[in-house]
Structure 1
Protein backbone atom coordinates (compact mmCIF):
# COMPACT_ATOMS: atom_id res chain seq x y z
CA UNK A 1 0.00 0.00 0.00
CA UNK A 2 2.78 2.39 0.93
CA UNK A 3 4.58 1.56 -2.31
CA UNK A 4 1.41 2.32 -4.27
CA UNK A 5 1.01 5.68 -2.47
CA UNK A 6 4.62 6.60 -3.24
CA UNK A 7 4.09 5.84 -6.93
CA UNK A 8 0.91 7.94 -7.02
CA UNK A 9 2.62 10.80 -5.18
CA UNK A 10 5.55 10.72 -7.60
CA UNK A 11 3.18 10.68 -10.57
CA UNK A 12 1.23 13.62 -9.13
CA UNK A 13 4.45 15.61 -8.65
CA UNK A 14 5.48 14.91 -12.23
CA UNK A 15 2.09 16.03 -13.54
CA UNK A 16 2.26 19.24 -11.49
CA UNK A 17 5.80 19.93 -12.69
CA UNK A 18 4.70 19.39 -16.28
CA UNK A 19 1.77 21.76 -15.79
CA UNK A 20 4.06 24.44 -14.38
CA UNK A 21 6.43 24.01 -17.32
CA UNK A 22 3.59 24.26 -19.85
CA UNK A 23 2.25 27.41 -18.18
CA UNK A 24 5.73 28.95 -18.08
CA UNK A 25 6.29 28.12 -21.73
CA UNK A 26 2.93 29.58 -22.68
CA UNK A 27 3.60 32.78 -20.79
CA UNK A 28 7.04 33.11 -22.30
CA UNK A 29 5.71 32.47 -25.78
CA UNK A 30 3.02 35.12 -25.23
CA UNK A 31 5.65 37.51 -23.90
CA UNK A 32 7.84 36.82 -26.91
CA UNK A 33 4.96 37.34 -29.34
CA UNK A 34 4.00 40.55 -27.58
CA UNK A 35 7.57 41.77 -27.90
CA UNK A 36 7.55 40.87 -31.60
CA UNK A 37 4.26 42.70 -32.18
CA UNK A 38 5.61 45.83 -30.53
CA UNK A 39 8.85 45.61 -32.49
CA UNK A 40 7.61 43.97 -35.68
CA UNK A 41 9.48 46.18 -38.12
CA UNK A 42 12.80 46.14 -36.16
CA UNK A 43 12.48 42.35 -35.70
CA UNK A 44 11.77 41.79 -39.40
CA UNK A 45 14.73 44.02 -40.19
CA UNK A 46 16.97 42.01 -37.85
CA UNK A 47 15.88 38.75 -39.48
CA UNK A 48 16.59 40.25 -42.91
CA UNK A 49 20.14 41.05 -41.75
CA UNK A 50 20.63 37.39 -40.85
CA UNK A 51 19.26 36.34 -44.23
CA UNK A 52 21.68 38.70 -45.99
CA UNK A 53 24.58 37.35 -43.92
CA UNK A 54 23.67 33.79 -44.91
CA UNK A 55 23.71 34.80 -48.58
CA UNK A 56 27.13 36.43 -48.12
CA UNK A 57 28.58 33.28 -46.53
CA UNK A 58 27.01 30.96 -49.09
CA UNK A 59 28.45 33.04 -51.94
CA UNK A 60 31.91 32.90 -50.36
CA UNK A 61 31.84 29.10 -50.28
CA UNK A 62 30.54 28.82 -53.83
CA UNK A 63 33.40 31.04 -54.99
CA UNK A 64 35.92 28.92 -53.06
CA UNK A 65 34.52 25.73 -54.55
CA UNK A 66 34.82 27.20 -58.04
CA UNK A 67 38.42 28.23 -57.37
CA UNK A 68 39.33 24.74 -56.10
CA UNK A 69 37.73 23.26 -59.20
CA UNK A 70 39.75 25.46 -61.58
CA UNK A 71 43.06 25.42 -59.71
CA UNK A 72 43.17 21.92 -58.21
CA UNK A 73 40.59 20.05 -60.33
CA UNK A 74 38.53 19.09 -57.30
CA UNK A 75 35.27 20.17 -55.72
CA UNK A 76 35.54 19.85 -51.93
CA UNK A 77 31.92 20.95 -51.38
CA UNK A 78 29.16 18.41 -51.95
CA UNK A 79 26.38 20.76 -50.89
CA UNK A 80 25.43 23.85 -48.89
CA UNK A 81 22.41 24.14 -46.61
CA UNK A 82 21.22 27.36 -44.99
CA UNK A 83 18.63 28.23 -42.38
CA UNK A 84 17.34 31.02 -40.16
CA UNK A 85 16.09 29.93 -36.73
CA UNK A 86 12.31 29.79 -36.38
CA UNK A 87 10.41 31.74 -33.73
CA UNK A 88 9.97 28.53 -31.72
CA UNK A 89 13.70 27.81 -31.77
CA UNK A 90 14.50 31.36 -30.68
CA UNK A 91 11.98 31.09 -27.82
CA UNK A 92 13.50 27.79 -26.66
CA UNK A 93 16.97 29.35 -26.67
CA UNK A 94 15.72 32.41 -24.77
CA UNK A 95 14.19 30.10 -22.15
CA UNK A 96 17.24 27.85 -21.89
CA UNK A 97 19.76 30.69 -21.59
CA UNK A 98 17.49 33.00 -19.58
CA UNK A 99 17.96 35.84 -22.08
CA UNK A 100 16.14 39.16 -21.52
CA UNK A 101 13.19 39.71 -23.83
CA UNK A 102 14.62 42.38 -26.13
CA UNK A 103 15.97 42.48 -29.67
CA UNK A 104 19.36 43.71 -28.45
CA UNK A 105 19.67 40.85 -25.97
CA UNK A 106 18.65 38.31 -28.61
CA UNK A 107 21.21 39.65 -31.09
CA UNK A 108 23.99 39.73 -28.49
CA UNK A 109 23.34 36.37 -26.86
CA UNK A 110 22.09 34.06 -29.61
CA UNK A 111 24.95 33.57 -32.05
CA UNK A 112 23.41 30.87 -34.25
CA UNK A 113 20.20 32.47 -35.53
CA UNK A 114 21.75 32.37 -38.99
CA UNK A 115 23.27 29.06 -40.00
CA UNK A 116 25.22 27.70 -42.96
CA UNK A 117 26.09 24.01 -43.24
CA UNK A 118 28.82 22.99 -45.67
CA UNK A 119 28.87 19.33 -46.67
CA UNK A 120 32.33 18.22 -47.77
CA UNK A 121 33.63 15.12 -49.50
CA UNK A 122 36.40 14.20 -47.06
CA UNK A 123 37.50 15.17 -43.52
CA UNK A 124 40.68 16.85 -44.80
CA UNK A 125 38.56 19.02 -47.09
CA UNK A 126 36.75 20.36 -44.04
CA UNK A 127 39.88 21.77 -42.44
CA UNK A 128 41.35 23.01 -45.71
CA UNK A 129 38.12 24.78 -46.62
CA UNK A 130 37.66 26.23 -43.12
CA UNK A 131 41.21 27.63 -43.21
CA UNK A 132 40.63 29.21 -46.63
CA UNK A 133 37.37 30.72 -45.39
CA UNK A 134 38.89 32.14 -42.20
CA UNK A 135 41.80 33.70 -44.12
CA UNK A 136 39.38 36.10 -45.80
CA UNK A 137 40.00 39.49 -44.19
CA UNK A 138 36.33 40.39 -43.73
CA UNK A 139 35.56 37.26 -41.69
CA UNK A 140 35.96 37.55 -37.90
CA UNK A 141 36.20 34.29 -35.95
CA UNK A 142 34.25 34.48 -32.67
CA UNK A 143 34.30 30.84 -31.57
CA UNK A 144 35.49 27.46 -32.83
CA UNK A 145 34.36 24.02 -31.64
CA UNK A 146 35.90 20.93 -33.20
CA UNK A 147 33.56 18.00 -32.67
CA UNK A 148 35.48 15.96 -35.24
CA UNK A 149 38.64 15.74 -33.17
CA UNK A 150 36.55 15.70 -29.99
CA UNK A 151 33.12 14.17 -30.74
CA UNK A 152 30.20 14.77 -28.40
CA UNK A 153 29.31 11.89 -26.03
CA UNK A 154 26.41 11.03 -28.37
CA UNK A 155 28.87 10.47 -31.22
CA UNK A 156 28.04 13.72 -33.02
CA UNK A 157 30.86 15.00 -35.24
CA UNK A 158 31.15 18.36 -36.97
CA UNK A 159 33.35 21.46 -37.08
CA UNK A 160 31.49 24.52 -35.79
CA UNK A 161 32.55 28.12 -36.34
CA UNK A 162 30.80 31.21 -35.06
CA UNK A 163 31.88 34.09 -37.29
CA UNK A 164 30.93 37.66 -38.00
CA UNK A 165 30.50 38.76 -41.60
CA UNK A 166 29.79 42.30 -42.82
CA UNK A 167 26.66 43.04 -44.77
CA UNK A 168 26.64 46.29 -46.70
CA UNK A 169 23.51 48.36 -46.26
CA UNK A 170 22.36 51.53 -47.95
CA UNK A 171 24.29 53.88 -45.67
CA UNK A 172 26.57 51.68 -43.62
CA UNK A 173 27.76 48.15 -42.98
CA UNK A 174 26.77 45.83 -40.15
CA UNK A 175 28.62 42.86 -38.68
CA UNK A 176 26.30 39.87 -38.29
CA UNK A 177 26.85 36.57 -36.44
CA UNK A 178 26.58 33.34 -38.42
CA UNK A 179 27.16 29.75 -37.34
CA UNK A 180 29.02 27.71 -39.96
CA UNK A 181 29.02 23.92 -39.66
CA UNK A 182 31.29 21.64 -41.68
CA UNK A 183 30.45 17.96 -42.09
CA UNK A 184 31.21 15.09 -44.41
CA UNK A 185 28.30 13.29 -46.08
CA UNK A 186 28.57 10.52 -43.45
CA UNK A 187 28.56 13.02 -40.56
CA UNK A 188 25.54 14.81 -41.98
CA UNK A 189 23.59 11.59 -42.56
CA UNK A 190 24.24 10.43 -38.99
CA UNK A 191 23.36 13.82 -37.47
CA UNK A 192 20.13 14.02 -39.47
CA UNK A 193 19.04 10.56 -38.31
CA UNK A 194 20.00 11.24 -34.70
CA UNK A 195 18.05 14.51 -34.74
CA UNK A 196 14.89 12.79 -35.99
CA UNK A 197 15.07 10.00 -33.43
CA UNK A 198 15.90 12.32 -30.52
CA UNK A 199 12.53 14.07 -30.78
CA UNK A 200 10.41 10.92 -30.83
CA UNK A 201 8.75 11.19 -27.42
CA UNK A 202 6.89 7.86 -27.43
CA UNK A 203 9.98 5.63 -27.17
CA UNK A 204 10.17 3.70 -23.83
CA UNK A 205 13.20 4.47 -21.68
CA UNK A 206 14.85 1.05 -22.14
CA UNK A 207 14.46 1.23 -25.92
CA UNK A 208 15.73 4.82 -25.95
CA UNK A 209 18.89 3.69 -24.13
CA UNK A 210 19.40 0.85 -26.59
CA UNK A 211 18.81 3.23 -29.49
CA UNK A 212 21.42 5.65 -28.11
CA UNK A 213 23.96 2.82 -27.90
CA UNK A 214 23.17 1.84 -31.50
CA UNK A 215 23.63 5.43 -32.65
CA UNK A 216 26.95 5.67 -30.83
CA UNK A 217 28.14 2.48 -32.59
CA UNK A 218 26.96 3.89 -35.93
CA UNK A 219 28.89 7.11 -35.24
CA UNK A 220 32.07 5.10 -34.73
CA UNK A 221 31.46 3.18 -37.97
CA UNK A 222 30.76 6.47 -39.76
CA UNK A 223 34.09 7.89 -38.56
CA UNK A 224 35.90 4.75 -39.73
CA UNK A 225 34.24 5.05 -43.15
CA UNK A 226 35.33 8.69 -43.45
CA UNK A 227 38.91 7.73 -42.59
CA UNK A 228 38.98 4.82 -45.08
CA UNK A 229 37.59 6.98 -47.88
CA UNK A 230 40.15 9.66 -47.03
CA UNK A 231 42.96 7.09 -47.27
CA UNK A 232 41.69 5.89 -50.66
CA UNK A 233 41.52 9.44 -51.95
CA UNK A 234 45.07 10.14 -50.69
CA UNK A 235 46.38 7.01 -52.44
CA UNK A 236 44.73 8.01 -55.72
CA UNK A 237 46.16 11.53 -55.49
CA UNK A 238 49.62 10.15 -54.68
CA UNK A 239 49.54 7.79 -57.69
CA UNK A 240 48.36 10.59 -59.96
CA UNK A 241 51.19 12.85 -58.76
CA UNK A 242 53.79 10.12 -59.38
CA UNK A 243 52.35 9.51 -62.84
CA UNK A 244 52.60 13.21 -63.70
CA UNK A 245 56.19 13.37 -62.49
CA UNK A 246 57.24 10.40 -64.64
Structure 2
Protein backbone atom coordinates (compact mmCIF):
# COMPACT_ATOMS: atom_id res chain seq x y z
CA UNK A 1 0.00 0.00 0.00
CA UNK A 2 1.32 3.46 -0.89
CA UNK A 3 1.99 5.91 1.95
CA UNK A 4 -0.58 8.28 0.41
CA UNK A 5 -3.32 5.76 1.25
CA UNK A 6 -2.86 6.30 4.99
CA UNK A 7 -4.35 9.04 7.16
CA UNK A 8 -2.40 12.27 7.53
CA UNK A 9 -1.33 11.35 11.06
CA UNK A 10 -0.13 7.89 10.10
CA UNK A 11 1.61 9.21 7.00
CA UNK A 12 3.51 11.79 9.05
CA UNK A 13 4.50 9.15 11.60
CA UNK A 14 5.81 6.76 8.95
CA UNK A 15 7.76 9.49 7.19
CA UNK A 16 9.22 10.68 10.49
CA UNK A 17 10.54 7.23 11.41
CA UNK A 18 11.86 6.02 8.08
CA UNK A 19 15.30 5.12 9.42
CA UNK A 20 14.05 2.79 12.17
CA UNK A 21 10.57 2.05 10.88
CA UNK A 22 10.97 -1.74 11.11
CA UNK A 23 11.92 -1.51 14.79
CA UNK A 24 8.89 0.70 15.47
CA UNK A 25 6.58 -1.73 13.70
CA UNK A 26 7.91 -4.71 15.67
CA UNK A 27 7.57 -2.86 18.99
CA UNK A 28 4.11 -1.58 18.08
CA UNK A 29 2.91 -5.08 17.17
CA UNK A 30 4.27 -6.41 20.47
CA UNK A 31 2.34 -3.74 22.37
CA UNK A 32 -0.85 -4.59 20.48
CA UNK A 33 -0.32 -8.27 21.35
CA UNK A 34 -0.21 -7.28 25.01
CA UNK A 35 -3.46 -5.37 24.67
CA UNK A 36 -4.98 -8.42 22.98
CA UNK A 37 -3.86 -10.54 25.93
CA UNK A 38 -5.56 -8.08 28.29
CA UNK A 39 -8.78 -8.41 26.29
CA UNK A 40 -8.59 -12.20 26.68
CA UNK A 41 -8.16 -11.85 30.44
CA UNK A 42 -11.22 -9.63 30.86
CA UNK A 43 -13.31 -11.55 28.31
CA UNK A 44 -12.65 -14.79 30.19
CA UNK A 45 -13.84 -13.19 33.42
CA UNK A 46 -17.01 -12.02 31.68
CA UNK A 47 -17.66 -15.47 30.19
CA UNK A 48 -17.35 -17.03 33.66
CA UNK A 49 -19.77 -14.48 35.14
CA UNK A 50 -22.18 -15.19 32.28
CA UNK A 51 -22.08 -18.96 32.90
CA UNK A 52 -22.43 -18.57 36.68
CA UNK A 53 -25.41 -16.21 36.33
CA UNK A 54 -27.11 -18.53 33.85
CA UNK A 55 -26.66 -21.50 36.15
CA UNK A 56 -28.12 -19.65 39.13
CA UNK A 57 -30.98 -17.83 37.38
CA UNK A 58 -31.86 -19.96 34.32
CA UNK A 59 -31.42 -16.98 32.04
CA UNK A 60 -28.47 -15.12 30.54
CA UNK A 61 -27.21 -11.78 31.82
CA UNK A 62 -25.01 -11.30 28.74
CA UNK A 63 -26.17 -11.59 25.14
CA UNK A 64 -22.76 -11.17 23.53
CA UNK A 65 -19.18 -10.08 24.17
CA UNK A 66 -17.36 -8.25 21.37
CA UNK A 67 -13.81 -6.91 21.36
CA UNK A 68 -11.49 -4.82 19.23
CA UNK A 69 -8.02 -3.27 19.19
CA UNK A 70 -7.96 0.35 18.03
CA UNK A 71 -6.40 0.72 14.57
CA UNK A 72 -2.99 2.43 14.22
CA UNK A 73 -4.46 5.35 12.25
CA UNK A 74 -7.10 5.91 14.96
CA UNK A 75 -4.48 5.78 17.71
CA UNK A 76 -2.27 8.35 16.00
CA UNK A 77 -5.23 10.59 15.12
CA UNK A 78 -6.43 10.65 18.74
CA UNK A 79 -2.96 11.50 20.08
CA UNK A 80 -2.53 14.18 17.41
CA UNK A 81 -5.88 15.76 18.28
CA UNK A 82 -4.63 16.14 21.87
CA UNK A 83 -1.30 17.58 20.78
CA UNK A 84 0.61 14.57 22.13
CA UNK A 85 3.65 13.08 20.45
CA UNK A 86 2.98 9.56 19.20
CA UNK A 87 5.22 6.86 20.64
CA UNK A 88 4.84 3.60 22.51
CA UNK A 89 4.95 5.32 25.90
CA UNK A 90 2.23 7.86 25.10
CA UNK A 91 0.03 5.14 23.64
CA UNK A 92 0.22 3.27 26.95
CA UNK A 93 -0.06 6.23 29.29
CA UNK A 94 -2.37 8.64 27.44
CA UNK A 95 -4.92 6.32 25.83
CA UNK A 96 -7.27 4.13 27.84
CA UNK A 97 -9.35 2.72 24.97
CA UNK A 98 -6.76 0.95 22.79
CA UNK A 99 -8.21 -2.35 24.00
CA UNK A 100 -12.00 -2.32 23.97
CA UNK A 101 -14.72 -4.78 24.95
CA UNK A 102 -18.45 -4.30 24.35
CA UNK A 103 -20.83 -6.30 26.50
CA UNK A 104 -24.44 -6.53 25.32
CA UNK A 105 -26.94 -7.34 28.07
CA UNK A 106 -30.67 -8.12 27.86
CA UNK A 107 -31.79 -5.70 30.60
CA UNK A 108 -30.55 -2.55 32.31
CA UNK A 109 -30.18 -4.21 35.73
CA UNK A 110 -27.99 -6.89 34.13
CA UNK A 111 -25.54 -4.16 33.13
CA UNK A 112 -25.10 -2.93 36.68
CA UNK A 113 -24.94 -6.41 38.16
CA UNK A 114 -22.30 -7.70 35.73
CA UNK A 115 -20.27 -4.48 36.03
CA UNK A 116 -20.35 -4.70 39.82
CA UNK A 117 -19.29 -8.36 39.85
CA UNK A 118 -16.43 -7.59 37.49
CA UNK A 119 -15.30 -4.58 39.51
CA UNK A 120 -15.06 -6.44 42.85
CA UNK A 121 -12.65 -9.10 41.56
CA UNK A 122 -9.42 -8.73 43.50
CA UNK A 123 -7.11 -8.55 40.49
CA UNK A 124 -9.19 -5.87 38.75
CA UNK A 125 -8.71 -2.18 39.42
CA UNK A 126 -11.40 0.23 38.25
CA UNK A 127 -9.73 3.44 37.09
CA UNK A 128 -12.76 5.33 35.83
CA UNK A 129 -16.50 4.95 35.29
CA UNK A 130 -18.82 6.95 33.05
CA UNK A 131 -22.50 6.19 33.43
CA UNK A 132 -24.23 7.39 30.27
CA UNK A 133 -27.36 5.44 31.24
CA UNK A 134 -28.15 7.66 34.22
CA UNK A 135 -26.59 10.65 32.47
CA UNK A 136 -27.09 10.28 28.69
CA UNK A 137 -25.08 12.32 26.23
CA UNK A 138 -26.93 15.27 24.61
CA UNK A 139 -27.53 13.23 21.44
CA UNK A 140 -29.25 10.48 23.45
CA UNK A 141 -26.33 8.02 23.63
CA UNK A 142 -26.65 5.60 26.54
CA UNK A 143 -24.05 3.13 27.76
CA UNK A 144 -22.03 2.26 30.86
CA UNK A 145 -18.26 2.67 30.44
CA UNK A 146 -15.53 1.28 32.70
CA UNK A 147 -11.77 1.72 32.36
CA UNK A 148 -10.14 -1.28 34.01
CA UNK A 149 -6.56 -2.18 34.81
CA UNK A 150 -5.81 -5.90 34.72
CA UNK A 151 -2.55 -7.79 35.31
CA UNK A 152 -1.33 -9.88 32.40
CA UNK A 153 1.45 -12.45 32.89
CA UNK A 154 3.98 -12.92 30.11
CA UNK A 155 7.05 -15.13 29.91
CA UNK A 156 9.40 -12.68 31.63
CA UNK A 157 7.19 -10.19 33.45
CA UNK A 158 3.76 -9.06 34.59
CA UNK A 159 2.21 -5.93 33.11
CA UNK A 160 -0.81 -3.91 34.17
CA UNK A 161 -2.86 -3.25 31.03
CA UNK A 162 -5.85 -0.96 30.57
CA UNK A 163 -9.07 -2.13 28.94
CA UNK A 164 -12.21 -0.13 28.25
CA UNK A 165 -15.44 -2.08 28.78
CA UNK A 166 -18.72 -0.71 27.43
CA UNK A 167 -22.00 -2.18 28.65
CA UNK A 168 -25.19 -1.71 26.63
CA UNK A 169 -28.59 -3.30 26.34
CA UNK A 170 -29.58 -4.76 22.97
CA UNK A 171 -31.72 -1.68 22.35
CA UNK A 172 -28.92 0.76 23.25
CA UNK A 173 -26.52 -1.06 20.93
CA UNK A 174 -29.07 -1.01 18.10
CA UNK A 175 -29.46 2.77 18.41
CA UNK A 176 -25.70 3.42 18.74
CA UNK A 177 -24.89 1.31 15.69
CA UNK A 178 -27.38 3.15 13.50
CA UNK A 179 -26.40 6.55 14.90
CA UNK A 180 -22.76 5.80 14.10
CA UNK A 181 -23.61 4.98 10.48
CA UNK A 182 -25.72 8.10 10.06
CA UNK A 183 -23.21 10.39 11.78
CA UNK A 184 -20.44 9.58 9.34
CA UNK A 185 -22.54 10.15 6.23
CA UNK A 186 -21.47 13.35 4.51
CA UNK A 187 -23.59 16.14 3.04
CA UNK A 188 -26.71 15.31 5.04
CA UNK A 189 -29.50 17.86 4.52
CA UNK A 190 -31.42 19.11 7.57
CA UNK A 191 -28.68 17.96 9.97
CA UNK A 192 -30.26 19.71 12.98
CA UNK A 193 -33.58 17.97 12.37
CA UNK A 194 -31.74 14.66 12.12
CA UNK A 195 -30.11 15.26 15.51
CA UNK A 196 -33.54 15.91 17.07
CA UNK A 197 -34.98 12.77 15.49
CA UNK A 198 -32.06 10.66 16.76
CA UNK A 199 -32.52 12.05 20.27
CA UNK A 200 -36.23 11.24 20.08
CA UNK A 201 -35.47 7.67 18.97
CA UNK A 202 -32.98 7.29 21.84
CA UNK A 203 -35.64 8.37 24.34
CA UNK A 204 -38.14 5.88 22.89
CA UNK A 205 -35.57 3.07 23.11
CA UNK A 206 -34.74 4.03 26.71
CA UNK A 207 -38.43 3.87 27.62
CA UNK A 208 -38.66 0.46 25.91
CA UNK A 209 -35.74 -0.77 28.03
CA UNK A 210 -37.51 0.39 31.19
CA UNK A 211 -40.79 -1.25 30.16
CA UNK A 212 -39.11 -4.55 29.30
CA UNK A 213 -37.34 -4.60 32.67
CA UNK A 214 -40.64 -3.92 34.42
CA UNK A 215 -42.33 -6.76 32.51
CA UNK A 216 -39.55 -9.20 33.36
CA UNK A 217 -39.74 -8.34 37.05
CA UNK A 218 -43.54 -8.77 37.07
CA UNK A 219 -43.21 -12.17 35.44
CA UNK A 220 -40.56 -13.21 37.96
CA UNK A 221 -42.81 -12.11 40.83
CA UNK A 222 -45.72 -14.11 39.43
CA UNK A 223 -43.52 -17.14 38.98
CA UNK A 224 -42.27 -16.77 42.54
CA UNK A 225 -45.85 -16.62 43.86
CA UNK A 226 -46.81 -19.76 41.94
CA UNK A 227 -43.79 -21.59 43.35
CA UNK A 228 -44.80 -20.64 46.90
CA UNK A 229 -48.32 -21.97 46.27
CA UNK A 230 -47.03 -25.26 44.90
CA UNK A 231 -44.16 -26.37 47.15
CA UNK A 232 -42.12 -29.38 46.12
CA UNK A 233 -43.24 -32.66 47.66
CA UNK A 234 -40.90 -35.55 48.21
CA UNK A 235 -42.08 -39.16 48.68
CA UNK A 236 -41.64 -40.63 52.14
Q: Could you say which residue in structure 2 is the equivalent of 1:44? A: 29
Q: Could you say which residue in structure 1 is the equivalent of 2:224? A: 241
Structure 2 unaligned blocks of 5 or more: 1-6, 230-236
Q: Which of 203, 206, 226 is equivalent to 2:209?
A: 226
SS in 1 for 2:138: coil
Q: Give the C-alpha shift of residue 87 in structure 1.
A: 1.3
Structure 1 unaligned blocks of 5 or more: 1-24
Q: Could you say which residue in structure 2 is the equivalent of 1:32? A: 13
Q: Could you say which residue in structure 1 is the equivalent of 2:127? A: 142
SS in 1 for 2:93: helix
Q: Give the C-alpha shift of residue 37 in structure 1.
A: 4.1
TM-score (norm 1): 0.86
Greater fraction helix: 1
1:171 aligns with 2:146: no
Q: Give the C-alpha shift of residue 158 in structure 1.
A: 0.1
Q: Give the C-alpha shift of residue 38 in structure 1.
A: 4.1
Bigger CA drift: 64-73 or 111-120? 64-73
Given that 2:76 and 2:86 are in contact with CA atoms closer than 8 Å, whether structure 1 keeps it comes out as: no
Matches within 5 A, 1:109-188: 109-188=94-173
The RMSD of aligned alpha carbons is 1.3
CA distance in 1, matches of 2:187, 2:41: 41
SS in 2 for 1:77: coil
- Per-residue CA deviations over 1:131-161 (Å, capped at 9, x if unaligned) read 0011111111010000000000000000000
Bigger CA drift: 32-41 or 195-204? 32-41
CA distance in 2, matches of 1:38, 1:68: 46
TM-score (norm 2): 0.89
